[in-house]
Amino acid sequence: MKKIFIIIILMLLYSVATEAATMQRYINGTIEHVTGDGITVNGNTYILSPKVSIRAHEYRDNSMYEVAGKTSEMTPGAQVYIRVEGTTVYEVIIERSKK
């Protein structure tokens, strides 16, 4: 009976740890540093996925549009919203300033 109880507890702990390791986080902040395969936002460094999606929020005519972004827009000082899993970034949304 004790063995079954221990096995059940271990299975529950494993499932919780696995879910926590793959949890997605959304972070809003300012780019501090960019390298070929990494980005630092708000003091934390993340790895850019090879298939990272880069988009931009563009403001015109009192509306916001989501358009394709460019890696050249990921510069220090840019405001971004990133989707992170672990330490890997899968999505970057660049906030283009209102003009």
Q: Are 27 and 88 in contact (CB under 8 A)?
A: no
CATH code given to domain 24-95: 2.40.50
| Strand 44-60, strand 88-95: pairing | parallel
pTM for the whole thing? 0.71
H or E element in which residue 6 lies: helix 2-21
Residue 57 carries which side chain, given as an amino acid letter?
Answer: H
Q: And the tokens for 91?
A: 């999505």
pLDDT digits (tens, 9 = 90+) for 58-91: 988 888 899 999 888 999 999 999 999 989 999 9
Residue 30 CA to its chain's centroid (Å): 13
Residue 49 carries which side chain, given as an amino acid letter?
Answer: S
pLDDT digits (tens, 9 = 90+) for 7-47: 887 777 776 655 555 688 999 999 999 998 999 999 999 99
